[in-house]
Amino acid sequence: MSLAGDVSAGTPRIHLSKDMQQLLYRLLAAGLLCVALSVATDAFFTANNILNVLRQASLLFFLASGLTLVILTGGLDLSVGANIGLSACLAATVIKATGSPALGTLTGLASGCAIGICNGLMVAKLRIPSFIATYGMLWVLHGVTYYYMAGETIHGFPPGFRHIGSGYFLGIPIPVYLMIGFLIAGTVFAQRTVWGQQIYAIGANPMAARLSGIPVDRRLILVYAFSGAMAGVASIVFLARLNSAEGDIGEAMTLPAIAAVLIGGASLFGGVGSVFGTFVGALILTLVLNGMNLLAVNASWQPLVTGVIVIFAVWLDMVGRKRS
């Protein structure tokens, strides 16, 4: 009997889940962008430029992967860019003072994580809507960083530390390895662990999640802490790449990070999205910005294009939801 059932279920055509379909469309879009850019400019399809795109995408991905978990719970973290600023400046100070890149890295990660925990506490315990709590945090961090730096720049780090941002291993930039590592770790965490699945459940239906015994508050604090820690990672790689720290170092990165998550198919209403999708989203956005660069479009157009892309991505999600 079970044999008969198997035979009748074995339809000949390939069946893909809706999420997989969406992901394939996005990969297709990224592929088309690559082809279009290769045709439009000679500079695009060179080993140098491809590695450059990957390195730029990796910075965006660090920030966006943490943000993905927050958006999966139906929240938003607007403070990630300002978090990079403060964490990078603190890390730079520690490296300068102690001469130890390890201590500096630890400081950056700890500061990012601590800021994330504050966000999580505000959202989970004080019940302040996440977008406004993290928006307030953005300006608190902004103020503290500018006060702390007082317009100064900290620059000149040991070569070993700079290697994290600008070094190569087997011809491929170090940040790209980090990106692949976080991509695998993030995907396994979100798809294959109980905590990851609980995060999806919270976003899909917070009330049901609470009633089914998921410790919602603790998971919320966890995702904001994770988002903060990833901002810490981004700050370290950024710092190592730029070889200098300024107060406004991550300011322009919040909008692109949100854009990457949304292009990657995550829904602002929670419960839908994946770390791999965000990886593809970060690639697409970087390709667009890199292409504009190669086509000699003024850099002033970048915020405008990113803004339009954010709105377009949310709109696509809205249309998709209405149809289903």
Partner 1 sequence: MSDHALSPSAPARPRIPAVPGVAVALVGLSVLFAVASPGFLTAGNLSNILVQSVILLLLALPMTLIIMTEGLDLSMGAVLTLASLVLALIVVATQSLMLGLAGALGVGLAFGLANGWLVASLGIPPFVATLGTLGAAQGLALIVSDGQSVVGIPRFVRLVYSGEVAGIPNPILIGAGFYALFHVLLYHTRFGTYVCALGGNREALTLAGVKWKRLLISVYMLGGAMAGVAALLMTARMNAGHPTAAIGMEFDAIAAVALGGTSFEKGNGWIFGTLMGVLTVGVLRNGLNLMAVPSSVQVACIGVLVIFALFLDGMRSKKS
Strands (E) across 172-286 are located at: 172-173, 244-245
Q: What tokens does 191 get?
A: 């798809």
Q: Quick one: which of 26, 17, 56 has its CA closest to 280?
A: 26
| CB 87 to partner 1: min, Å | 16
Q: Rounded to whole angstroms, what are the CA distances from 217 to 34, 45, 246, 267, 287?
A: 42, 47, 35, 21, 37
| CB 80 to partner 1: min, Å | 13
- Closest to partner 1 by CB, 192 vs 323, is 323
| CB 261 to partner 1: min, Å | 11
Q: Rounded to whole angstroms, what are the CA distances from 37 to 10, 82, 175, 264?
A: 41, 32, 24, 20
- Closest to partner 1 by CB, 189 vs 269, is 269
- Closest to partner 1 by CB, 99 vs 143, is 143
- Closest to partner 1 by CB, 141 vs 179, is 141
| CB 112 to partner 1: min, Å | 18
| CB 231 to partner 1: min, Å | 17
Q: What tokens does 252 get?
A: 């322009």
d(CA 98, CA 13): 62
- Tell me which residues touch partner 1 (CB under 8 A): 76, 78, 122, 126-129, 131-133, 135-147, 150, 255, 258, 262, 268, 298, 300-308, 310-311, 314-315, 318
| CB 304 to partner 1: min, Å | 3
- Closest to partner 1 by CB, 136 vs 167, is 136
Helices 301-323 and 275-294, packing angle to 10 deg: 140
- Closest to partner 1 by CB, 148 vs 195, is 148
Per the listing, tokens 């990457």 go with 260
d(CA 84, CA 81): 5
